[in-house]
Structure 1
Amino acid sequence: MGMFPAMADRCVIGVDLGGTKALAGAVGEDLAVHHRLQRPSQGLATGELLDVLAGMVREAVDAAPGEVAGVGFGVPGVLDRRTGIVAACPHLPLEGVRFEALMAERLGLPVAIDNDGNCAMLAEWRHGAARGADDALMVTVGTGIGGGIVAGGRLLRGATGGGAEIGHMVVELDGPPCEGRCPGRGHWEWYASGNAIGRAGAEAARSAPGSALAAEVAGGREITGALVTELAHHGDATAVDVLALVGRRLGQGFVSLVNVFNPERIVVAGGAVAAGDLLLGPAREVVAREAMPSLRDVVQIIPARFGSDAGLLGAATLAFEECVR
């Protein structure tokens, strides 16, 4: 039996839209991804981005093994779920866009949308690392930092459905300007995201000319979070130090979340999960040192069961729950 009883032979399309790339796939009731697509999302105008997403969905529909009942989108921004409008989107040109209606018009299929962090939380809470927990947090570490919150056995979306933008918690007053279209400063994602790993790696390469990072710069490669992680896994000490630094900054935010929400689990998803304990180990050490003792003792900080697929599978779960009647 699949994870969605009475939906046999049906499938949905899940789309995980990120600030750098979009992932899509045809997903069956057992959460098996039957056709997987990836396209760049960065640097596109609004209409171009919507067209790319529609093209991905159509290709996934054509490859789907059964009847497609709907499409779920995880979008990296503040959504008004009452209207289907993207209220704010720091990394993509979607602010003010009637995303749900426009995609439904393009596709001719039922469409459901939610914040990408909420989608990842939904997948892990229903089927993955947060299953069985009444109080859990999702932290997606990619281009920025997204989040999802389960409290008292309910997924919290806030008054308009716009939560939980935890990456925009202020951790340094008057700190560096946030990236993209966000007007704030000193936000957590500036210090602890995948982009932050790339920035810290570039700085480390300048100060450690004998490192593998410096050699990559000399060879003309851009220092990204993925490259730092790759070099760290191959034993480059400078890259390991970069991940430890960003991991401690990640832990700084975890401390606040632990003290506020008292979760049983913090589930970490997104591309940066590939760093594993090189990133999460230092984060756990900060939580153990700085969080309130009675709260830190009950929390587990663990990688997502579905890894970087959590957002895609969460978008599919959303579609099964909201598009299939």
Structure 2
Amino acid sequence: DVWQPGDRQTLERLKLALKYKQKAFVAHPNVQQLLAAIWYEGLPGFRRKSMAMQLLELGKLGAMFPMYSAIYMVAPTSQTGMFMKKPFVKFVMHSASYSFFLMLLGAASQRVETLALEWFGTEWMRELVKEWQRRERGSIPGLVESMIILFVISLIWNEVRALFKDGLLEYISDLWNIVDFITFFFYAIWICMRGTAWYIVQREASYGIDPYYPRENWDMFDPMLISEGAFAAGMIFSFLKLVHIFSVNPHLGPLQISLGRMIIDIIKFFFIYTLVLFAFGCGLNQLLWYYSELEKNRCYHLPSGEADFDNQERACQLWRRFTNLFETSQSLFWASFGLV
């Protein structure tokens, strides 16, 4: 359809130009002027304001995202709802929402609920915290974790909508969508394992078995530990998503493009580094394998064949470092970071 004045800009031609990498068309001044006009629609004069005033405007919009979101859900066709549909306003709201999500992740990782009760609570509250810590295995999510679960469900729903809207091929063509898929996969594991841990604890309690014991005595594949590992992995990917958000910054965006074009050079350098590491590993392994065997014999000198960590702790720690080519190369790698 031919665009008429007053119609909503769909930018289908621009999307097609981006898909087929028509850089001359995308970089044309008229196209850039049109994009800037559409992007800052609803905030007249924003680009002419000083940096302080722009930050103040962004802070005001970001702080009001819960209210704006609630109004949009209740009355999407109202004046405020239509204001929320403006591209730049929508971007600020999404960024503020995601920042709040990251804040919740940080609060959960620091156990902010427990710390708050320990620092500012009464003696009864501190005793309650100790009881919570004793019953940590299979515990139900707290307030912060429950909010994170709601956020994760909403983000997964948003990704599913994008997948059905754009199609599978279009969806996976954006590598950040794959990162989102991995992130939500870890969060799904976290939620499922927390539910599994709760079920196991309740089942053991129904059998008359005390399911609560210190963390150091948990099985290494306890669902609670697996859930925490999945949560940590999902948190890492969630914070890395900030790189994608910062790509709109005029200073950080070009740096990301430069880094992306350096990936091949980085791989070449890493190949040379690996070759040098392998060469030195071969030499050191030839020189030190005998002494590694001596340290191993000193560690495993007990009649039962077990390691004597009480009397030969240093030997038990050192014998692996040069016992074979892989361990030697690994020792050299970590030694470059000062960790050996």
Same fold (TM > 0.5): no
Relative to its length, the structure with more strand (as a share) is 1
Question: Where on the TM-score scale, by shorter chain, does this alignment land: which range?
Answer: under 0.3
Structure with the greater relative contact order (CA < 8 A, sep ≥ 6): 1 or 2?
A: 1
Larger radius of gyration: 2
TM-score (norm 2): 0.24
TM-score (norm 1): 0.25
